[in-house]
């Protein structure tokens, strides 16, 4: 009887082992079929949104190489804490293939553009698994998070983040309920380095404004951060400025020009510095809520904006004090 019981347990354990060792089949956001033999434990990211998706899933310990904006980001550095993944470059400065190969990663996250496609193909030829992710809309961002979660066995955490994003989306929808298109504010999105560089309909920032209930006056202008002139900006007659925030003072100086007096007097919504709300990221919905609540304060006066966003950061990153709106005094 005892021997039979032991045999049964061994069979069950072998069965569980074979299930856990089942290959993971994925289709990335370029449509490439990718197979992992087991959840990835050594991960290299090559651009900033990939860093943010990985860190939101609690993968800081698995990041052996990291690319994009890291050195000057207090948010990312705080999540990495004492960890020091090797910097492998960035999209602007170039990515070191040799460094990536030397790290012997299980998985490399690659940006879905021309250079990224070439890198993915080169990695494949070297026997290194890569996922092309292209989170250019909120739906794409959700899909990218789910894809990475499946590749790393962190689906439970991804589901919690998805639930939080839906909670914030519900708050926005409730606040904007009954708002007619004619009542929506006309907004102009200003790049942090140049007032005359704006967000086109092709860009993520356009969708962020649409979700927040404001109409992008640059709809129909093609390109990535297209350049517009002062005459066109005035002709659009925006009612609101949405501004990226960093250390640049150029936009402030441009708004002081006599021609821009009318624009300078408009209400302005500054996205918090270092928030990453102006790019595809797990916390972009927090940025949409921030824009909506500041554009239509009378519609959102029944919510505590700071508390709602802090709750998101608690769930997604384990620390409410990582919210860019959280008061320093509350977190000391």
Answer whether residue 162 is part of any domain.
no
Q: Which residue has the higher pLDDT, 73 or 66?
A: 66
Whether residue 166 is contained in a domain is answered as no
Q: Do 214 and 318 lie in a common domain?
A: yes
9 falls within a domain: no
Residue 169 belongs to some domain of the structure: no
- Choose among 1, 330, 285, 14: nearest CA to 168: 285
Task: Tell me the per-residue pLDDT of 107-140, one tens digit each, with 9 for 90 and over.
Answer: 999 998 878 889 999 999 999 999 999 988 899 9
Q: Is the pLDDT of residue 3 over 70?
A: no
What pLDDT does residue 5 have? 41
Which one of 119, 135, 153 terminates a domain?
153
Average pLDDT for the chain: 89
Q: Are 263 and 205 in contact (CB under 8 A)?
A: no
Residue 288, in any domain of the structure: yes
Residues of the domain holding 94 = 22-153
212/146 same-domain check: no
pTM for the structure as a whole: 0.89
Question: Both 200 and 319 in a single domain?
Answer: yes
158 in a structural domain: no
Do residues 134 and 232 both lie within one domain? Answer: no
The H or E element spanning position 252 is helix 250-255
Whether residues 142 and 255 share a domain: the answer is: no
The CATH number that applies at residue 251 is 3.40.50.1980
N-term to C-term CA, the chain: 62
Q: Tell me if 300 sits within 8 A of 322, measured CB to CB.
A: no
Closest Cα to residue 51, out of 39, 66, 61, 38? 66
Question: What was the pLDDT predicted at 11?
Answer: 43
Number of domains within the chain = 2
Reported as a pLDDT band with limits 50, 70 and 90, residue 71 is low
CA distance 267 to 249: 18
2 falls within a domain: no
**Residue ranges with strand state E in the chain:** 24-27, 33-36, 43-45, 63-67, 86-90, 94-95, 107-111, 130-133, 186-190, 215-216, 240-243, 268-270
Question: What's the CA gap between 158 and 107, in Å, rounded?
Answer: 18
Secondary structure class of 131 (helix, strand, coil) = strand
Residue 4 falls inside a structural domain:
no
Q: Convert the pLDDT of each residue in 142-156 to its tens digit.
A: 999 999 999 999 999
Same domain for 308 and 183: yes
């Amino acid at each position: 009887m005892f021997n039979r019981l032991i045999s049964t347990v061994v069979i069950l354990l072998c069965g569980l082992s074979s299930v856990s060792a089942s290959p993971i089949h994925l289709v990335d956001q370029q449509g490439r079929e990718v197979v992992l033999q087991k959840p990835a434990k050594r991960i290299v990211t090559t651009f900033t949104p990939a860093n943010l998706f990985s860190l939101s899933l609690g993968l800081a310990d698995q990041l052996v190489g990291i690319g994009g904006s890291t050195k000057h980001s207090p948010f990312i550095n705080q999540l990495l804490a004492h960890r020091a993944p090797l910097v492998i470059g960035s999209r602007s400065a170039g990515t070191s293939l040799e460094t990536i190969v030397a790290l012997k990663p299980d998985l490399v996250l690659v940006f879905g553009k021309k250079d990224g496609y070439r890198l993915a193909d080169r990695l494949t030829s070297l026997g290194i698994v890569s996922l092309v992710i292209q989170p250019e809309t909120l739906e794409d961002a959700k899909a990218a998070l789910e894809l990475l979660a499946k590749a790393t066995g962190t689906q439970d955490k991804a589901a919690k983040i998805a639930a939080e994003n839906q909670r914030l989306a519900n708050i926005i929808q409730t606040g904007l309920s009954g708002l007619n298109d004619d009542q929506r504010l006309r907004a102009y999105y200003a790049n942090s380095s140049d007032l005359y560089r704006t967000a086109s309909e092709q860009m993520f920032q356009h969708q962020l404004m649409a979700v927040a209930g404001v109409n992008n006056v640059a709809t129909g202008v093609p390109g990535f951060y297209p350049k517009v002139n002062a005459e066109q900006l005035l002709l659009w007659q925006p009612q609101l400025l949405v501004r990226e925030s960093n250390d640049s003072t150029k936009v402030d100086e441009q708004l002081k020009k006599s021609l821009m007096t009318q624009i300078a007097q408009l209400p302005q919504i500054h996205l918090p510095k270092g928030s990453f709300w102006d790019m595809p990221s797990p916390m972009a919905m927090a940025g949409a809520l921030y824009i909506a609540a500041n554009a239509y304060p009378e519609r959102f006066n029944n919510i505590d904006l700071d508390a709602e966003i802090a709750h998101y950061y608690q769930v997604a990153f384990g620390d409410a004090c990582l919210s860019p709106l959280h008061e320093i005094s509350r977190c000391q």
